[in-house]
Structure 1
């Protein structure tokens, strides 16, 4: 299948985005911040590395395939939002509305990328 690496990276980032949402929910419930060196940094570093690879692959794909309703600025913003979410998830004082909006936005774009690559609607992957 074409764009297999982009598909794999997109799936990995969807999982990490959902994991960040769970971490944030736990931090809000307990009121405890994540430890920077044992939790925040390793998670954020993993997301940063994958999202940068994903952004490169996705930009090439967008410029080549020109999918409907997906544009380079959305790819760039999604990568940046993922990196922000990966850090802010560990802080219970993070704005709920803002954090949730970023998570949903990231989820939406990642699902559109997968849908365009695979030809299947979200959830059917």
Structure 2
């Protein structure tokens, strides 16, 4: 579970990076260079996101936390994967981007707090 907690925190850091990158792009109007910025970042996020999906799904299916289901984990996984690329394109719909970002962030935070509650001695 410690590895999943660590990965979940890392995914939240990526979410912050994604949010900041998108804000910079919207402000400057500049797209990220695909080979020097977009692909390396998206590949790094994908590597951790793939590991996170497996561990988080197993944990949710095993512990059945209140208000969190495996489909939400899959949804957050897909949103993070999409956002890690969209963050570099300022023409991405701001409303949709922010809704997906907030949704993924919410699921990550719910998972993290559920794990931390399970970890505490009963």
TM-score of the superposed pair, with normalisation by structure 1: 0.92
Gapped regions of structure 2 (runs ≥ 5): none
Aligned partner of 1:65 in structure 2 is: 63
Aligned residues: 118
How far off its partner does 1:119 sit? 2.2
Mapping 1:92-111, distance limit 5 Å: 92-111=90-109
Distance 1:60 1:47 in 2: 20
TM-score of the superposed pair, with normalisation by structure 2: 0.95
Mapping 1:1-125, distance limit 5 Å: 3-119=1-117
Distance 2:85 2:49 in 1: 13
Q: Which one has the bigger helix percentage?
A: 2
Distance 2:96 2:104 in 1: 12
Distance 1:35 1:13 in 2: 23
